[in-house]
Structure 1
């Protein structure tokens, strides 16, 4: 991504110096033995780690040990640029010492004595605001307010900030561990924090109002269970995500994942002072009304099967009441709506699920595994739901049914209405090593799944790509290819207004796959899991993925905006629109598929960046490393072969374009010769001819007028009696309208009189009475009806008096004054 600097080569070179900044140094790290330093030092967290984040204010925030450190990236980049201008970068040896320009860029340490636990995750409320920071441990949870001094010039290396422990009665050691923490994206103030614990309880805290007690609590376990479910193993919550669809109830849905891979959904989950577009609520209201009316029609047309639809119809009725109460509290003067969820004290939000996933997922290894994370991409035309597992399996599912709001109501008719289906489109195996060896255990293999906690991260720009970081590094997965094809199929089926199964069968028969890119690799080496990944998007800095390892090694990978090139065939004239061509346009080969795939890949490479632990960066590779590098070199050769083929295809395309350019030049030359041969004498002759035609046309018009007048005088030279009466009536009408006593003057008088009456009415109009709080007193319906009846009677009396006055005025006009 281009920056504000004029030299495009310098846009991301400053990132190469960032890993050496002292912000990533740890005193405890040197005290840990080198073998398996990452696992011994960082430990095995219960919570998915995310110890690095970036804000829209150009701040990089990392958790080192139990400290929270902040670095101003813009200041660091400017310092690097100054060193570059003074030619101080070529002589740098980062392994020996830190140059002065790096040490001069100080980082800030937030003084947080209340945080005494190991920090596992950092979550900023809104990246563009970044005022609240959630600090998550295995059991404890705190929220700190980032001081304003951080955003200004750095005056101190240590700043005290306000730290608040959230839910001290619920999030302590000995109770249920924390599974995941997210800020609610639809909170007006950005202060609603969602906390999921492993006991399937989802709590919503409003940090501004109350940090000790949750504003709302949702139990993610189903209350009613069948006999089969009672014997089923109960899972624990591991992750959740928000819905990303702007249709129906999509933005009010929360998806919850258990360690057994079960997916549940709840809707509506709405914070107080929820903010959204008013247009979204209007569409939702129309959607609910249509479904409610359709349900009533089904019940009316099928009276014998009426009981089968009572539960669903009751849910539609509750949805209708919910949206009706929301609109009662809205301010119609704004396009953005701010509302609170209507109080449904008698009904709690229903837990929908577990989802039925078809077909069954594949078994990629014999190792025991658990589900780890879930992410809703919010793609079009169908939503894609991604589930990650500890053994490296990624399930990409298509959401075929829209989740709707449901509440727990007494079952009128026994039945299941909360089960939904997901289509498992693809089951991906990331392919990293499934076991490792710990020397202290006698070289016995240990399962990777026991320490692996894969985490999913969405891309801030493109919804059809996401990232996953885990024990073995980082992968980027792009679903754009097959999702675009699916969109075409859905559009075709929509145009036919019917479910055309052969169209969908042809799509699934193609077996299109997602594009998988290994961005960073921590294998083969001692396990050094990545404990954080964030996407930095800033026009002045970069568009890159920032990663942090368990030994606090910083890794970056530059991303790029997509630059899709339109093929020449799409620019050619359409034969149906232009059937008559004067020349033939040659067909030019489209852009090679390899190159197009690379341009749509956002700078992601097939070959991962090798990330050894910090204590092994200067060591030579062992036997496993050599074998791994052989595999990498084989992949490089394959990529070089594909690039060579793409270059040959581009050369053919270039030859075609050269021929087309020559043809266009010849056509332009012929047109130029034709214009030059078109002499000025001929243009002068045409101008004189046009002038003569114009004069002749004027002569003909005057001649035709004389002939028509002559014919009229000859046919009826004297005005008839009827025409005279018609002319007289026109004069009377004009006098009645425009005369002194005409309608026009009367209308002006009435308008002025109406204006004076309005001013008198404003003076006589009484002010609304107000209560003790200064609010106007609003009458009830019965009181308003009584007032209206009294006013109607008064108006009748006034009309009678006006009529009597007019009669008296008419009689006075008849009296002659001597």
Structure 2
């Protein structure tokens, strides 16, 4: 898990331009854009920060601001260095007054005046409502800008143009998306997603809360592509449709809408595409074509395949793996269903449609185009053998069913990959299974496993339409784990809002969750790798045992990365902006969000190495005593002065807006007692009392921080004094009197330490020499005792020696009485062999004559007996040979 190295840097703190980049406008209109005194309530996600490499686009109200974090960091360092070298007060005042500007001296002409360089820019757009979401296209050319109901597409300038020294306001070229689809009279926008397979990254998918999915294929040369979507799918109609020829498009602007029971159950909370949003590496073929839709009531649906009329794949191994996985999955499913007789007609038709859809892709003449960065792409056309609108799959059942009711806020889907022996093989192909993470409004994350995978399905065409379709095969999402980010009933639990999920740029198995309490990091890498290994090498034997062991030890790791003070945003009704992750060589692994116009950031450790032990355990076992361990310092966020200290008083605004013009002149005269004057004083007192109360709370918090800082400094001074005494004891500086002669020089400090080291080394050398001397002396005195195996081996050798030599001692006679000696057994075997051979020669001719007159023995029985005799002879011969070989190894000659 990433370790927090530091919190909000100085170049994002007040009064730097980085802080002003997120600050709210002081002259913002007080009335809502709809003309009412109160703004329309918005319950969707707040993604007001977008990134392109190290560039940051921030939406503040209806204004978009731009800056480069690397430029902010470098300019802050240069400004601080220049400020520290300035001598006169006038120069320092000039630096402090240039809020938003930094003085940078020219390197070409040192005598010239310093020039002003703007590090932040304002990008002007014709939008009159507060911006809620900013989403940049994969190629970085476009940026989708959405309010609560409307959507716009802005053409982003090149980075070189934005980094120019021009300080004027830059106007962006924008196109309104769907002038009749995304308007105030229509439902709000729930999600805005750039299609991962869109042609040149210009395909946008918008999902509204009334369950309408629109797919836009943008082209600046054709203005109509911004007015009408290429596909408009009403999920409520699609859920009840029985044929692909039905009217599945969204209702036109101004059309009357009747009541539908699906209006509540199909209220969209969020949507996302499957697979990896960063690249096409190690994803299954169906994953980037599957749109997952999460409803607020808790249901989850899927549309597969949802692709534009022109879509592209990287001309690399990852792009080829997408086609390979599609081919393998579709062909294997078609072959398996062909052999089954009890399969439903709907399943057979779906398999045939998949095969026809795949054939259109494989056998078409696709185009090869080069991208902006020199990479090549394979451009395909959408197959025409199947309808462009897929079948709505779902709702998927959660198993086991959750007891508590919940409302979904966001969804994320991550796929599994096949693990191989080497890294290249591990990143080439994905598995159909995936992990579905559901985030609720109560800050709970339900981690579910989709082991079956989503496949492409379509409705039947008009020729084969049916009154009722067969029921879809049961598709379950296994609830693997539920992670609670905020404990209910605690004081830190705030009002439910709209938390959001942000993908980690380093891993597809981890993500960040932005909620009311701050930002939390969740990592599933520990158990996902084990599950990927099990799914890659699936074996039925012992699967239940391995599954039980896996379930006992699998757990998602959760860590709180940034904590937001509760009083900073409590009661304002506006959620925290969804965080963004930036990884750059200059600023590192950076986490950024904003709360009430104040940036909150953290620099994380990008290393993925997870050690089996932590630093505290190493220090505990390596130290001699626990008291000698240095106290671990807690990493805290730097103190940021609350806005109460520097925000403008509302009293001036109150006088301008609430006091009638006819009475403003009387404020300069003497106070006259009247009901109007009393009301005016009471209202002014109410404002001043609230502001002074906030100032008192902020001052009390600052006082407590100062007291704690003073106590910590005292503790550090005390520990430093103890450490100084120990150092003096080692170096000899604590010796008050010196009893040596006047000629001897007193050795202290580093020389004292080096002297003690030399003495220790000399003593060690002496001990080693004494050890070697004693070891050699013991080796000469005698060897070690024989082991039991060695003693048994010697006894066996002596026994064989006595039996072969034929010893005549009394002990040997007692041994011979029990069994024959080895040499006697050998002689007996030889004697019996010679006798048997002689008898066979003598009786051989006579037996031949007797055979003709004797009883005939069956041939099978005779062969069996001869084989038995031959086996006995071979056994005796083998025993004799073995004994002879053993004696030869003992260098004993047998006479």
Which of 459, 463, 476 aligns to 1:421? It is 476
Structure 2 Cα separation of the partners of residues 485 and 453 of structure 1: 33
- Kept after mapping to 2: 8 A contact 1:459/1:535: yes
Structure 1 Cα separation of the partners of residues 599 and 399 of structure 2: 40
Which of 410, 414, 427 aligns to 1:377? It is 414
**Deviation readout 1:723-780 (Å, 9 max, x if unpaired):** xxxxxxxxxxxxxxxxxxxxxxxxxxxxxxxxxxxxxxxxxxxxxxxxxxxxxxxxxx
Please say if 1:361 is aligned against 2:402: yes
2:56 maps to 60
Which of 284, 288, 292 aligns to 1:247? It is 284
Please say if 1:101 is aligned against 2:152: no
2:557 maps to 514
- Kept after mapping to 2: 8 A contact 1:517/1:606: no
Change (3 A) 1:60 1:407: same
For structure 2, list consecutive stretches of 5 or more residues without a partner in the other structure. 32-36, 104-115, 242-259, 277-282, 314-318, 370-375, 419-432, 620-633, 647-693, 713-763, 773-895
Change (3 A) 1:291 1:489: closer
Structure 1 Cα separation of the partners of residues 55 and 215 of structure 2: 27
Mapping 1:460-539, distance limit 5 Å = 460-490=505-535, 494=537, 496-498=539-541, 500-510=543-553, 512-527=555-570, 529-539=575-585
Q: Which SS does the other structure have where 1:101 is aligned?
A: strand
Structure 2 Cα separation of the partners of residues 398 and 610 of structure 1: 42
Structure 1 Cα separation of the partners of residues 498 and 117 of structure 2: 37
Aligned-CA RMSD value: 4.4
Which of 435, 439, 442 aligns to 1:388? It is 439
Structure 1 Cα separation of the partners of residues 494 and 367 of structure 2: 59
Shift in Å at residue 41 of structure 1?
9.9
Q: Which SS does the other structure have where 2:578 is aligned?
A: strand
Please say if 1:158 is aligned against 2:193: no
- Kept after mapping to 2: 8 A contact 1:278/1:337: no
Structure 2 Cα separation of the partners of residues 130 and 82 of structure 1: 30
Shift in Å at residue 384 of structure 1?
1.8
Please say if 1:192 is aligned against 2:233: no
Range moving further from structure 2, 214-223 or 93-102: 93-102
Please say if 1:24 is aligned against 2:15: no
- Kept after mapping to 2: 8 A contact 1:61/1:70: yes
Please say if 1:125 is aligned against 2:137: yes
Shift in Å at residue 157 of structure 1?
2.5
Structure 2 Cα separation of the partners of residues 153 and 231 of structure 1: 53
- Kept after mapping to 2: 8 A contact 1:166/1:211: yes
- Kept after mapping to 1: 8 A contact 2:435/2:447: yes
Mapping 1:164-183, distance limit 5 Å = 164-183=175-194
Range moving further from structure 2, 148-157 or 192-201: 148-157
1:725 maps to none
2:600 maps to 555
Structure 2 Cα separation of the partners of residues 294 and 460 of structure 1: 39
Q: Which SS does the other structure have where 1:383 is aligned?
A: strand
Which of 488, 502, 514 aligns to 1:457? It is 502
Shift in Å at residue 241 of structure 1?
0.4
2:347 maps to 312
Shift in Å at residue 154 of structure 1?
3.2
Shift in Å at residue 348 of structure 1?
3.3
Shift in Å at residue 24 of structure 1?
2.5
- Kept after mapping to 1: 8 A contact 2:448/2:478: yes
Please say if 1:110 is aligned against 2:97: no
Please say if 1:140 is aligned against 2:140: no
1:282 maps to 324
Structure 2 Cα separation of the partners of residues 610 and 405 of structure 1: 54
1:543 maps to 589
1:294 maps to 336
For structure 1, list consecutive stretches of 5 or more residues without a partner in the other structure. 3-7, 34-39, 438-445, 568-589, 597-604, 637-661, 671-818
1:69 maps to 65
Which of 378, 391, 407 aligns to 1:337? It is 378
Structure 1 Cα separation of the partners of residues 436 and 640 of structure 2: 30
Range moving further from structure 2, 425-434 or 455-464: 425-434
**Deviation readout 1:652-679 (Å, 9 max, x if unpaired):** xxxxxxxxxx9xxx9xxx9xxxxxxxxx
Shift in Å at residue 185 of structure 1?
1.9
Structure 2 Cα separation of the partners of residues 477 and 608 of structure 1: 21
- Kept after mapping to 1: 8 A contact 2:413/2:435: yes
Structure 1 Cα separation of the partners of residues 68 and 328 of structure 2: 47
**Deviation readout 1:387-432 (Å, 9 max, x if unpaired):** 1111122111122111000001235985322542111111122116
Change (3 A) 1:625 1:258: farther
Range moving further from structure 2, 320-329 or 231-240: 231-240
1:82 maps to 78
Shift in Å at residue 198 of structure 1?
1.0
Change (3 A) 1:153 1:16: same
Structure 1 Cα separation of the partners of residues 300 and 638 of structure 2: 34
Mapping 1:561-640, distance limit 5 Å = 561-564=606-609, 614-615=643-644
- Kept after mapping to 2: 8 A contact 1:237/1:256: yes
Which of 29, 33, 43 aligns to 1:46? It is 43
Change (3 A) 1:93 1:130: farther
Q: Which SS does the other structure have where 2:129 is aligned?
A: coil
**Deviation readout 1:615-655 (Å, 9 max, x if unpaired):** 479957699999x99xx99xx9xxxxxxxxxxxxxxxxxxx
Shift in Å at residue 524 of structure 1?
4.5
Q: Which SS does the other structure have where 2:178 is aligned?
A: coil
Mapping 1:393-408, distance limit 5 Å = 393-408=444-459
**Deviation readout 1:127-161 (Å, 9 max, x if unpaired):** xx422111101111011111236444131330122
Change (3 A) 1:223 1:231: closer
Structure 2 Cα separation of the partners of residues 146 and 435 of structure 1: 45
Shift in Å at residue 264 of structure 1?
0.2
If the length of structure 2 is used for normalisation, what is the TM-score? 0.56
1:321 maps to 356
Structure 1 Cα separation of the partners of residues 300 and 441 of structure 2: 16
Q: Which SS does the other structure have where 1:189 is aligned?
A: helix
Q: Which SS does the other structure have where 1:86 is aligned?
A: helix
